[in-house]
């Protein structure tokens, strides 16, 4: 894919109870990206979340953190995509990933939701279009399906959070390439570190 990214979304749940939990790893990426760009996200009712615009490489990119709760993330994403006429192929969604260990971040284009409610709702809200990019931030699997909910809604231990934060930083490092549409180069750089 060589479509430049116009919108980067960080998935998470709103409120202090969920701040910095594993499930909010995508939101953490967007907040860190804004911080590194010298700005912060502000509430925007028409997008059902918090939004900002930053310069990434030589392009302007929208940032969005839906505050609708994870399983309604698509409502916010679709609202911003429609308002700015952003195609699904120009959207990058950052989210936590059970199937990757902490410290690992991977880029992916398209695919299913893999049981992730934020992705499920996003696909639905975009008219069942799955062709958006994803940054998958590893949070590890607790070992049994019955433990997943508790795992994702808890904060990681200090060592584990350090690994997650390092993966977020490595993912942010390749975002200027994605803003130019250089997905293959970005994937190569991120996946071979």
Say how far apart CA 103 and CA 51 lie, in whole Å: 27
Helix axes 158-179, 183-191, angle to 10 degrees: 160
Q: Which residues are annotated as a binding site?
A: 18, 69, 71, 117
* Neighbouring-strand partners of residue 108: 134
Q: Which residues are annotated as a binding site for tRNA?
A: 18, 69, 71, 117
Nearest CA among 100, 48, 99 for reference residue 74: 48
Max Cα-Cα span within the chain: 45
Confirm if 30 and 8 have CB atoms less than 8 A apart: yes
Identified catalytic residue from 19, 23, 116, 144: 23
Our answer to whether residue 23 is catalytic in this structure is yes
| Residues marked as catalytic | 23
């Amino acid at each position: 894919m060589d479509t430049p990214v116009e919108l980067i979304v960080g998935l998470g749940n709103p409120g202090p109870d969920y701040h910095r939990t594993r499930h909010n790893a995508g939101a953490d990426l967007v907040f860190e990206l804004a911080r590194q760009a010298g700005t912060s996200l502000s509430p925007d009712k028409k997008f059902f979340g918090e939004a900002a615009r930053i310069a990434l490489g030589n392009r302007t990119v929208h940032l969005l953190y839906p505050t609708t709760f994870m399983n309604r993330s698509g409502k916010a994403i679709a609202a911003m995509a429609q308002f700015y006429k952003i195609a699904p192929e120009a959207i990058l969604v950052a989210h936590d990933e059970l199937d990757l260990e902490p410290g690992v971040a991977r880029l992916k284009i398209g695919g299913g939701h893999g049981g992730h409610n934020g992705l499920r709702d996003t696909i639905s809200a975009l008219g069942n279009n799955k062709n958006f990019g994803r940054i998958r931030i590893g949070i590890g699997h607790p070992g049994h399906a019955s433990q997943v909910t508790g795992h994702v809604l808890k904060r990681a231990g200090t060592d584990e959070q350090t690994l997650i934060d390092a993966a977020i930083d490595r993912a942010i490092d390749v975002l200027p390439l994605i803003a130019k549409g250089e997905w293959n180069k970005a994937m190569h750089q991120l996946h071979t570190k």
